[in-house]
Amino acid sequence: MLSPRQIFEDNVRPADLMLKVFRLLEHDAPNTEAELLRSLRHLVKADQDEGLTVIYNEIFLGLIRERAEVPPASIKRSALSNLLRQAVVSACTALETYLPTLLRNQLPEVIKLRGRDFVPRDKEIGEQFKNLSFSLDECLRVLTAPDPLFIANKMISFVNFSYLSGKRGIHVTGALLGIDNPWKRIAERLQRGEEELKKILDDAVNRRNDIVHRADREKKAPDGPAQDIGYAWSRQTVDTVRVVCLCLDELVTARLTQLREQAAIPPQEGA
């Protein structure tokens, strides 16, 4: 079975691919240099009347033949920007798939190892689970035969319904898995500003919502023009989502190792 980290890396890979394709195809206008066109026409043995589109930049030389039915308008910069938008969407999807997967895999063991102490005394956790309820039968089950897996599945089902995302999703997941102040720990480990990381993640999620629900128009101006998007911002967004999730994974792994070691140590007399 794939680990949560492997699932995340598989899901974020399309975002990388779209960024790479954008860089390959990025150009201001098709190349019309006569000598280059003549050489390429000869190389592919194209007829003189066949339309050829040449893309040339510092990392890529590409030739699109007429039978591909790809008009120049479909690869101009404004059209290629949709690759950047979809990269952001893919990165956010990877994040929002990873967090509940990590909880499903690790929360039962954390509950088993920590017992009642597994619930963080934390405002964000309280807000996330304020509408979680247990039926009378469920309460009796918890009181008479506490089962970490049952409690974990109940919480995870609620999380799936209530949607984990952005900076709160990272905090809630990390805190439930035994990490004190997850964002502070992540920022220290990455040697980056905590607020900067939080803002990038929330900006990514908000932009994803604009892209998916309003064709990348701002929420406050849904009838306005599509927002501009650039390679550098998109690259930063995808990379930040990746390193934050991978860092959280490392912290959770280390914390579980610590909890297992503590559980293996017999309590001292008089302790």
Residue pair 148/155 in contact by the 8 Å Cβ criterion:
no
pLDDT, position 156: 72
CA pair distance 2, 109, nearest whole angstrom: 18
pLDDT, position 270: 47
> pLDDT > 90: what percent of the chain?
54
Domain count, the chain: 1
Provide the domain limits for residue 260: 76-264
Residue 271, pLDDT above cutoff 50 = no
144-197: pLDDT as tens digits: 766 666 777 777 777 665 578 899 999 989 998 999 999 999 999 999 999 999
pLDDT, position 164: 81
In-domain check, residue 82 = yes
More confident residue, 112 or 213: 213
In-domain check, residue 30 = no
22-52: pLDDT as tens digits: 999 988 888 888 888 889 999 999 899 888 8
In-domain check, residue 14 = no
Least confident of 12-16, 75-79, 114-118: 114-118
Helix (H), strand (E) counts: the chain: 10, 2
Q: Residue 5: in which H helix or E strand, if any? A: helix 4-25
From its phi and psi, is residue 222 left (phi > 0), alpha (psi between -120 and 50) or beta? alpha
Residue 268, pLDDT above cutoff 80 = no
Half-sphere exposure of 55 (CA within 13 A, CB side): 23
Rg (CA), the chain: 25
In-domain check, residue 64 = no
In-domain check, residue 199 = yes
In-domain check, residue 59 = no
Structure tokens at 229: 């998007």
